[in-house]
Amino acid sequence: MKTTNTFGIIFYLRRYKVKNGKAPIYARITVDAVRVDISIKMDIEIESWHVGKGMAKGSKHKRLFNSRRT
């Protein structure tokens, strides 16, 4: 019998927890259809977040998040 394991990570903003124009970034980890959401302890301005790609966009300090997530 063959077993299949699945794994995925996405990053997203919790827009309903906005403080001072910044929203917390969360990671959703999925393993075999079981999801867990965790905070990565970083905030970012909502307009600096690319929803479709799940990553920060724009200037040098925004790219700091993108380099930490890989």
Which tens digits make up the pLDDT trace of 5-64?
789 999 999 888 888 889 999 999 999 989 999 998 888 888 888 888 888 887 766 667
Pick from 11, 69, 17: which is nearest to 38 by CA?
11
pTM: 0.75
Measured from the Cβ of residue 39, the count of other Cβ atoms closer than 10 Å reads 12
